[in-house]
Amino acid sequence: MSPTEMAYRKTALGGASGFSLLIALYDTLAGDLRRAAEAERRNDIGTRCLQVNHALLVIAFLEDWIDRGPGGELAQGLQSFYSSLRRKMIEAQAKRSATILEEQMKEVLDLRAIWQAMEQPGASTASAGLGSMPGPYYPGGSSSMYENNASGWSA
């Protein structure tokens, strides 16, 4: 990422909500996977490894956000998703498969779309495709950033 892109992201995220930050992490993860797949197709192993390593750091950060206590089904589902994603990325490197990396990028973008739908005012977890599960835990916030009430979810 160029210094200009970094400056833009820092400015854009300055007043971002929890969902916006989460979506930005998914964007970063998808970009890492895309660049890794492109590098694999060019037979640029060094760049592929750098991109996969960064993607693994992003996954670790996302996993750290999961509230393993009262998180319920959502926490378990996210943990399973991140574990599977990590395994598939390692498999892609072992098999030297750009296709596997691109498939994982699609999975990340699909989940990103669900979180983006949740960011919309009045959105509920059911309408976004997450069922009736609570939102993720965000460091620096309360233990449950999203409150479940009769009218749905609110930030």
Contact yes or no for 26/136 (Cβ under 8 A): no
Instruction: State how far the Cα of 5 lies from the Cα of 8, in Å rounded to an integer.
Output: 5
Six token digits for residue 121: 């005012």
In the chain the domains, ranked by start, together with CATH numbers, are 17-145 (1.20.120.340)
Contact 36, 55 (CB under 8 A): yes
What span, in angstroms and rounded, lies between the C-alpha atoms of 59 and 36?
15
pLDDT of residue 15: 57
Helix (H, G, I), strand (E, B) or coil at 148: strand
13-66, pLDDT tens digit by residue?
Answer: 555 667 888 999 999 999 999 999 999 999 999 999 999 999 999 999 999 988
The answer to whether 54 touches 35, Cβ cutoff 8 Å, is no
Instruction: Write b or e for each residue in 74-85: b if 16 or more Cβ atoms lie within 10 A of its Cβ, otherwise e.
Output: bbebbeebbeeb
φ, ψ for residue 148 (rounded to 5)? -90, 120
Nearest to 137 by CA among 84, 81, 62: 62
Predicted TM-score (pTM) above 0.75: no
Q: State the DSSP code for 135.
A: P
Give the pLDDT confidence of 85-123 residue by residue, as tens digits.
999 999 999 999 999 999 999 999 999 999 999 877 775
Cα 3 to chain centroid, rounded: 22
